[in-house]
Amino acid sequence: MLAHMPLAPAAASLLRGAASVSSVATGVVQPTLESLGTPLREVTFVVVDLETTGQAPGAAAITEIGAVKVRGGEVLGEFQTLVNPGVPIPPMITVLTGITTAMVLPAPRIDEALPRFLEFAGLDRGAVLVAHNARFDVSFLKAAAADLSYPWPAPHVVDTLALARRALTRDDVPNFKLSSLAQLFRTDVAPDHRALSDARATVEVLHRLLERLAPLGLQYLEDLRTIVDPVPAARRRKSSLADAVPHGPGVYQFIGPGDEVLYIGTASDLRTRVRSYFTAAEKRSRIGEMVDLAVEIRTVPCQSVLEAQVRELRLIEHCDPPYNRRSRRPRRRPWVRLTAEPFPRLTVVRDLALTDLDVAWGPFTTHEQARAAVEALQAVTSLRSCTARLPRTPSPRARSCMAHEVGACLAPCVGATDATRYGADVERARRALAGDLAETVEHLRGRIAVLADAQRYEDALTVRERLRAVLVGGARAERLRAWGRVPEFIAARPVARRWELILVRHGRLAATGWLLPGTDPAAALADLRRAAEHVPLPNVVGGATPAEETDLVIGWCQEGGARLVEVSGDARIALPVRGAHRWALPPRG
């Protein structure tokens, strides 16, 4: 039984008022000076300092908040409040800060002070948070926000302590304390362990440090995000390779000294993503090695994120870059199906005929994942696991294996079961492979519960990973059966007062475009169809395009308010009622 997915109304009624389709190809736009980054003079910095009753959130509380908002060297505002921590202030804290319990008794509690500070700071509106030893101050602010169930705005954070360590040496200052830096730069305000005074001193220190770092190329906010990263100097110098990379979605390629493609990736913002490879945000040693080899970065700007993702997959398959691990050789992914013999068994194959897709799981990411799915279904059905091709009549010399001795196999090899009895289990496996997973899932869930009750947690984890493999492979096969064999469909999704359009043939993205408000959608859809790639009918799964591309297209169609506009012929897009999509994936171990 199938649960049919309803189709949208016809294109004219669905998209009336939308406009013409833009070409699939897009020109390369020369970046302007403004696209290089946000100049530091235009950045709003909120410099904050806290006084607390101790060193760790949870064990201590905030007693004072002081902040100064600056932009372009000009003070825009100041914020200061004492905070009642709800506990007596330790004597040593009073000696250090001068704040007493009596002083904070009439002060607001943190549930009143924190919202006032967040409103002043505007961290959710793009302001950059600055502090000296920022880890300390930010940890208290985040903990307070969590306690009050306020969403933390996750602003960019600048630590003047890290900047000082980058800009200064021990010959300049004996240490990097705020008081030492204030003395070095002869700030107008001396830090005195009161929040507002320390924040004012930090503002002056920040400006002096930015002046010191300017000769190193510190001009934009994006530079500030990377200048304190512990990145090898040679790699940092290569960051100039990203200077000509445009913003917007697309595909990027790192090119080696022999003009070979080393690595291919995709991004919704090419410039931001490519620049991250030259910062400490990139932790993968293998990718660091690739960046050190690269001599050029090439980009392919795209109209949409989906187009960029599809182009990435196709380029990886075509170029087979050595530093890409994901998506290489996508047409050779493993599948699980039944063999065609008198006593069928489950097998893992790399090629799947289109006619076999109705009774198969996959494609799986790895062979190990496919084997886990096989083991799960064998446990439910007791199908044989041996690889010998068995005759319909067993040989007199045949001997059963250990699997039969422990009750895990029906042993047709020695005549312990007949074709009718074995065929019943084959039919159970066939139903599961075709999309009826209820029996398999419930069996595995019950097994996990039994093992967990017996405190056999490692065994329960193994069964849970088998269940995950079943659901992953089953869900992919269901989506491919439903969507991948449709000769042609057009779908639309609203994006920023426009409609993004895609045309898909046999699971392959054949054209993309945009509909702008104001023109006849029927003509635009006709233009989209004329520009679309011809895709012949495939005879094997993945013949038109790898399953991974079809999966991307399906994901696009199932999110963001997408609607089916046209579907060719009498094709129906449906998922099995008892299929894998009904169950959530178990968490990874």
> Catalytic positions, please?
193
Angstrom distance (rounded) from CA 141 to CA 159 = 15
- What's the gap between Cα 429 and its chain centre? 34
SS3 of 333, please? coil
CA-based nearest residue to 66, from 86, 91, 85, 46: 46
CA-based nearest residue to 559, from 502, 519, 477, 484: 502
Cα Rg of the chain, angstroms: 31
Residues making up the chain, counted from first to last: 589
Tokens of 454: 């017996």
Dihedral sign from CA coordinates of 131, 136, 142, 144:
negative
298-323 burial code (b ≥16 CB/10 A, e <16):
ebbbbbbbbbbbbbbbbbbbebebeb
Half-sphere exposure (Cβ direction) of 485: Cα atoms closer than 13 Å: 20
- Residue 502 backbone zone (phi > 0: left; psi -120 to 50: alpha; other: beta): beta
Q: Taking a C-beta distance cutoff of 8 angstroms, is the pair 72, 80 a contact?
A: no
Q: Taking a C-beta distance cutoff of 8 angstroms, is the pair 294, 238 a contact?
A: yes
Angstrom distance (rounded) from CA 574 to CA 268 = 31
Residue identified by tokens 């041996």 is 386
E strand or H helix at 268: none
Angstrom distance (rounded) from CA 541 to CA 389 = 25
Instruction: Give start and end residues of each alpha helix (H) in 356-437.
Output: 367-381, 402-405, 419-433
CA-based nearest residue to 220, from 434, 419, 34: 34
Angstrom distance (rounded) from CA 250 to CA 252 = 7
Burial of 272 (0-12, 13-18, 19+ CB in 10 A): middle
E strand or H helix at 389: none
**DSSP state, residue 481:** I
Greatest Cα-to-Cα distance within the chain, rounded to the nearest angstrom: 100
Question: Would you list the DSSP string of 125-151?
Answer: GTPEEEETTHHHHHHHHHHHHHHTTPP
